[in-house]
Structure 1
Amino acid sequence: MANKLDPMDLKQIITLHLDGYSNRKIGSTLGISRNTVNTYMQLFEGSKYSLEQLLTLDIEQLSELFSSFTTVDTQRHNSLMLYFETVNKARNHPGFTFLYHYAQYAQTVANPYSYTQFMEHYNRKYKEVKGSMKLEHEPGKEMYIDFAGKKLSYIDQNTGEIISVEVFVAILPNSQYTYVQACPSQKKEDLIICCTNALNFYGGVPLAIVSDNLKSAVSRASKYESQINRSFKDFASHYNCIVNPTRIYAPQDKALVENAVHLVYQRIYYPIREMTFFSLEELNAELRRMLITYNQLLFQRKEASRVELFQSVERQYLKALPCTTYQIKDYKRAKVQKIGYVYFSPDKSYYSVPYRYIGHHTMIHYTNTSVEIYYNHLRIAIHKRNPKKGNYNTIKEHLSSTHQSYTSWSPEYFKNQAAPHGVHLVKCVEKILCNVDYPEIGYKRVIGLIQLHKSYGSQRLDKACEIALNANVATYTHIKNILRHNMDLKEAMFQELDANTNHIPVHQNIRGASAYQ
C-alpha cells in the first residue's frame, strides 16, 4: 500500500467519474476504497481547476496539487516505523533475516502489513542511494574466496582453553556451489591449504581465483594493479590459474561470496551454535556434514540445488587438477660462502651448490620436503630438506675436484690408491693409518707417501716400503730418506739392514779371532 495514490490513478478516477461511474463503482474498478474516492472527489471539487482541466495536467503537476493527502493508516504505519528501528539495529548480527523479524512483527500487531508491503516500507525508509550492476558469471571462470567475519571455536581438552578459529568460504559464482573450512588463522600457509582443499572439493580448477585484499594473498593492495604474494602466485601457477584480487573498498566485486558468508551464518553457524567441539578436526567434520545439506537446498526460483547446478553445468568447464598436490613454498636470500655452501636460516643448516657460484647471491625456494637454490631464475641445486640443525648437506658433484677427493677419504680409499704401486706400499699405508689416533693426520701422511711414486717410480717406492717394513720403520719420513739416499739400490745396504747376516766382508788383511789367542 503506497503513502498516496499514484497520479495515474487520480486521472483514472476523473475519467471514470466523467464517464458516469459512481464513487462505489470507481473504487471497485480501481481496487481502492469508496471513502478514498469520495475524499479525492471533494479535493477535485475544492481545487480551482475543473475536472476536464485536471485531466490535461501532467503527472508532476497533479502530484504537487494532491501530495498532502495520504491514504495510509497513520497509527498502523507509525507502529511499523518504530519496529523498523529494532530491525535496523539487528542488521549486523550473524544469521539476520527479514523473514524472521516479519514473523515476530506479525505476531505482535493486530492488523499487520503483508510481507511484501513490510519490505516495501522498509526499503523506502532505508533505501540505497547507490545502484549496482547485475553481474553474469560464466561457468568455470572464477572461484571467489573470503574469510568469514565471525569466528568459530573449539575447546582444548588438555587445558580447557577456548580456541577461536577462522572460517574460510569459497564459492563458484555460476552454480553458487559452496565450500567451507575452519582453519587456525588467515596466514599464508592456512590460506593456501584451504584453497587447495577447495579445488580438491570441486574436483577441478577455474580460470581465476578472486580474493579479497588479504595480507596472506596480496603483498601490496591497489585499486588497479595489486601485487600478489609470491607464494600465492606460485600456488596459482602450479594449478594453472591466475589470482585476481578485488578492488579495494569495492565489496560489490565479490558480492556473491559476501552473500555466501551470510548464508553460512544462517544455515551452518546458527544450527551448531549450541554444539561443543574438542578439536579442529571435529569442527571441520561437522561443517562438512552441514555443508552437504546446505548445497542440496533448492533455490526458490531455479528449482534446483547448488550441487545439481554444479554437476549439470559448471563442473564440465573446470580444468583438470594437476597430478601432484601443491606444497607450500617459501623464499630466502643467501650468498654462497667460500666453502661452496649457502646458509639456510630456518633450519640453521647448510646446503651445497656448484663451486663456480661461490660469492654469488642466490634465492632459496623451500618446502617441507625440499630445498631448491636459484641463481638468476636458474635452478643450480636441489636438496632433500634435512631438519637437523647445523648439518652440512652435500652433493659431491657440486665440489671442486680437490674437494671431491677430500670427501672420499677413508682407509679403503687410500688402499685402493696404493694398490697399483705394489703390495708393500699397501702394507705401509695400513700400518701408518693404524698408528694414528686422528684419521685426518694419517690421511695426510699417506697422501705424501703415495705421491713419492711421481719422483721415484712405483718399483723403487714399493722396494723402499719393503726395506722399511723389514726394519720396522714404516713411516713417511724413513721411506722418503731411503729413496733420497738410494738405499734401495745398494745391495750392501740391504745386508746391513738384515740383522741375521754378517755384514763384515772377507779380506786377507783382516785377522780373525785366532790371531788374538
Structure 2
Amino acid sequence: MTPYREILRLYSQGISQRNIALSCACSRNTVSKIIQRAGELGIVWPLEKDLTDGELRQRLFAEAAQAPTRKHPDYAYIHKEMAKSGVTLSLLWNEYCENCRASQEIPLMYSQFCHHYQQYTMKSNATMRIHRKPGEQLEVDWAGQTASTIDRETGEIMTMYVFVGVLAYSQYVYVEAFASQDQESWITAHIHMYQFFGGSTRVLIPDNLKTGVEKASGHSPVINKIYHEMAEHYNTAVIPARVRKPKDKPNVEGAVGVASTWILAAIRKQQCFSVAELNLAIREKLDALNAKSFQKKEGSRHSVFMTEEKPFLLSLPATPYELATWKIATVQFNYHISVEKMHYSIPYEYIKHRVDVRMTRGVIEVFYQNHRVCSHPRLHGKPGQYSTVEDHMPENHKKFIQWNANRFISWAQSVGTHTAASVQAILNSHKVEQQGYRSCMALLKLADKHGVIRLEAACARALSYTPRPSFQSIKTILTTGQDRLEAQPETQEPSSPSESHGFIRGADYYGRG
C-alpha cells in the first residue's frame, strides 16, 4: 500500500519529489499527485497521530472510492452449499445470476465470483481447508518408512515396502506390506484396498510414480495403461497429484505419518518370517488405529466411515480386477505370435503386422490399433505349445487341416477295400501318423484325375506286389496303365512229378560202366 503519511512527512522536510519516490518505493507521478491533492484539500503535516494511511487515502481520494455497482452473493451460503454432493461453483454462479436478474441487479462475472469466494474461504486461515464430500476421493502412496521380515533359512533381513491408502472424508486408513514396489504389487494393493473398504470412490489420487503415471504433466498426465484399466474396472477416475505438490494429497501424507507411528513403530520389535505374517501384525494395529477416538472431534475413523461415508461409496464389480500385462508382438508368416514361449494364432490377414497383446493369468487378448482381434485361453506348462483357431487360417490351409486319419480311412473305404488297405498301409509306414497325410492327400488328387475305379484297380495291383504299397508305386501303376492289364490266368498243377520238376536225369546217367 502507498505510504501516504510518509510522503507528506518527507515533503514537509523539504526533500525533493524524486528522493521521496526513491525512499517510498513508488513512482514520482504518485508522489506528485498526492502532494498536489493534499495542497488542494489543505492537508499539511503534522497529521493526527491515529490517522492511518487508509483513512488518509479516503480523505485524499474520496470520490474514487465509489460504492460497487455489482451485487455480491452471500458467501456464507455459497460455502455451505459447496459442502453438498454434486454442487459446484458453476451451478451456484448460475443460480446467483438468475437471482440478480430477478432483482434487476448486475451480477459478478464468473472469474470474479470465484475470486471473491476464494478470498472468503481464506479469511480465517493462511491455507484454504477443503471439506471433502463422502465417497468422493481416495488418496494412495507408498510410505517412506519400510518394514522387514527375516528369512528362516539364512536369517537375512528382507526389506518390505508399505502401501497406504486413505479416504479423504473419514480418514479411514488401509495399510499393507509388499516385497517390492513393482506394477504387480501396486495393482494388488489397490485390489485388496477396495475389498477392505467394500467400495470405490469417484476420484483416485496417486503420486507420479511410474507404476501409475507414465508421463507427469500439470495439464494432461499420461496414465499407465494397466492402471487405467484397473480404474475403469472400479469405475473411478485417476487424477495424479502435481509434481512436488504434496498439498494435492494431504490426507495420505498425514496418514503415512500416523501409520509409521502407530503401526510400523509399534511392531518394530516383532519378528516376522513371511509377508503374510507381517501383514497379519499390521492388520491388528490397523484395526486399533481406525477404532481409536479422534482428539478434537467425536467418534473415530471407523465410526465416521461406517455411518457417513460407506453408504456413498460406489459398488464393487462382481469380480475383482485381474492383473494384466501388455506386450507388443509381430505376427509371423505362420499367422502365430510368440508370447512367453507359447504360440497363438492370429487371422492370417495380419501377417507381419505389430499387435498389442494383453496377458492375464487365464486369457491372451490381441489388439490391433485398439481393436480386439482375437483371444485364446492362456497356455501353461511345457514351452512351445500351439493354440490355433481354424478360422484364422487361409482357405487352402483349412482344407489340409480338416483331414485326419479317420477321415482318410473313411474316404478310402468308400472307394474300395484295396484303396482302404493301401491308405492304412501308408499311414502305418510312418512313425508319426501325420507324416502320411500328404501321401493320402496326393491319393485324393489321383482319384480326381484318373477316377476312383482306376485308383481301386491300381491299389489292387500294388498290393499284389507288396503288402505295404507306397504312393509312388500306385502313381506309377496309373501312369503306365498297368491297372488296365488283365490278370494272368492261374496255371494248372502238373500231372506227374517229371512235369513238375522239369528235366530229370535217368538211372542210366548215374550207372557205372
Write the distance in 1 (CA, Å) between the matches of 2:333 and 2:199: 47
For the 8 Å contact 1:224–1:247, the answer to whether it is kept is no
Q: Which residue of 1 aligns with 2:459?
A: 465
Q: CA deviation at 1:400?
A: 2.1
Q: Is the 8 A contact 2:208 2:216 kept in 1?
A: yes
Residues 80-479 of structure 1: matches in 2 within 5 Å? Answer: 131-344=126-339, 347-387=340-380, 388-407=382-401, 410-437=404-431, 439-472=433-466, 474-479=469-474
The code of the aligned residue for 1:419 comes to: Q
1:407 positional shift: 4.1
**Following the alignment from structure 1 to structure 2, what is the Cα–Cα distance between the partners of residues 355 and 416?**
31
Deviations 1:392-449 (A, max 9, x none): 3322332223333444554323213323322221111011222344545533222222
Structure 1: unaligned runs, 5 residues or longer: 1-55, 62-129, 503-512
Runs of 4+ in 1 over 6 A off after TM superposition: none
Match of 1:51 in 2: none
For 1:412 and 1:478, the matched residues in 2 are separated by 23
Q: Could you tell me how far apart the structure 1 residues matched to 2:52 and 2:306 are?
A: 53
Distance 1:445 1:141, change over 3 A: same
| C-alpha distance in structure 2 between counterparts of 1:456 and 1:287, whole Å | 82
Q: CA deviation at 1:172?
A: 0.7
CA gap 1:501/1:400 in 2 versus in 1, 3 angstroms = farther
Show the counterpart of 1:10.
none
- In structure 1, the partner of 2:74 is none
Contact 2:177–2:275 under 8 Å retained in 1: yes
- 1:154-192 Cα offsets, whole Å, 9 max, x none, are 111111011111111111111111111011122121111
TM-score (norm 1): 0.68
- Between the aligned partners of 2:150 and 2:319, the Cα distance in structure 1 is 35
Aligned in 2, Cα 1:453/1:236: closer, same or farther, shift over 3 Å? same
Given that 2:147 and 2:160 are in contact with CA atoms closer than 8 Å, whether structure 1 keeps it comes out as yes
Distance across 2 between alignment mates of 1:287 and 1:306:
17
Matched position secondary structure for 2:154: coil
| TM-score (norm: length of structure 2) | 0.68
Q: How many Å separate the matches in 2 of 1:440 and 1:290?
A: 64
Q: Identify the residue that residue 75 of structure 1 maps to in structure 2.
A: none
Residues 264 and 282, structure 2, Cα contact 8 Å, conserved in 1: no
- Give yes or no for contact 1:137–1:173 (8 Å, CA) kept in 2: yes
Equivalent residue of 1:452, what SS?
helix
TM-superposed deviation, 1:486: 4.1
In the superposition, relative to structure 1, how do residues 273 and 398 fare at CA in structure 2: closer, same or farther (>3 Å)?
same
Indicate the percent of aligned positions where both proteins have the same amino acid. Answer: 34
Measure the CA separation in 2 of the matches of 1:465 and 1:322.
66
Q: Contact 1:176 / 1:306 at 8 angstroms: preserved in 2?
A: yes
**Contact 1:418–1:450, Cα closer than 8 Å, also in 2:** no
CA distance in 1 between counterparts of 2:456 and 2:414 reads: 10
1:308 maps to a residue whose letter is S
- Give, in whole Å, the separation in 2 of the partners of 1:443 and 1:260: 69
| Inter-partner Cα distance in structure 2 for 1:278 and 1:484 | 80
1: distance between equivalents of 2:289 and 2:280? 14
Report the alpha carbon displacement of residue 336 of structure 1 after superposing the two structures with TM.
Answer: 0.8
Aligned-partner Cα distance in 1 for 2:51–2:318: 68
Would you say the 8 A contact 2:342–2:385 is kept in 1?
A: yes
For residue 380 of structure 1, report the CA deviation from its aligned partner: 1.4
In structure 2, the CA distance between the partners of 1:408 and 1:168, relative to structure 1 (3 Å rule), is: same
Change (3 A) 1:289 1:482: same
In the alignment, the residues of structure 2 paired with residue 416 and residue 206 of structure 1 have an alpha-carbon distance, to the nearest angstrom, of: 64
